[in-house]
Amino acid sequence: MPDWEHDSDTEQGAGVLTETRERVDKPPLYKVLLHNDDYTTMDFVVSILRNVFNKSAMAAVQIMLAVHRQGVGIAGVYPYEIAEAKVAKVTELARASEFPLLCTLEKE
């Protein structure tokens, strides 16, 4: 809640209200990266992007192709706790499907 100060000019009876706000820094953001390998299928990567990262079909295919062609692609950018949870979920789903898909996070 803001702290309010009341500055008054006693000769004229006028007052001015000023608001003091504390500056709150935004949390640092982290990129969630998917890394290419020779075993994880393209369909599985698209599925991960759609289900874990809520990407549209078109966006998921574009990211998957970036991973395939460049070796790594950005699945999303999030605060640390969310990025960490998404990395864990991707790893869990990949291992359950017996894929070696590597998902990491990197400070933006």
Could you list the beta-strand ranges (E) of the chain.
Answer: 3-9, 14-20, 29-35, 72-79, 102-107
* Dihedral of alpha carbons 46, 50, 54, 57, sign: positive
Q: Number of folded domains in the chain?
A: 1
6 within some domain = no
The pLDDT tens digits along the chain (108 residues) read 555 555 555 556 566 777 777 888 889 999 999 999 999 999 999 999 999 999 999 999 999 999 999 999 999 999 999 999 999 999 999 999 999 999 999 999
* Total residue length of the chain: 108
The per-residue pLDDT for 20 is 75
Give the strand pairing for 102-107 and 72-79: unpaired
90 within some domain = yes
7 within some domain = no
89 within some domain = yes
* Dihedral of alpha carbons 92, 49, 41, 71, sign: negative
84 within some domain = yes
33 within some domain = yes
Q: Which domain holds residue 86?
A: 29-107
DSSP assignment of 78-103 equals: EEHHHHHHHHHHHHHHHHHTT---EE
61 within some domain = yes
Quick one: which of 76, 83, 79 has its CA closest to 59?
76
The per-residue pLDDT for 5 is 54
23 within some domain = no
The per-residue pLDDT for 99 is 98
Which CATH number does the domain housing residue 78 bear?
3.30.1390.10
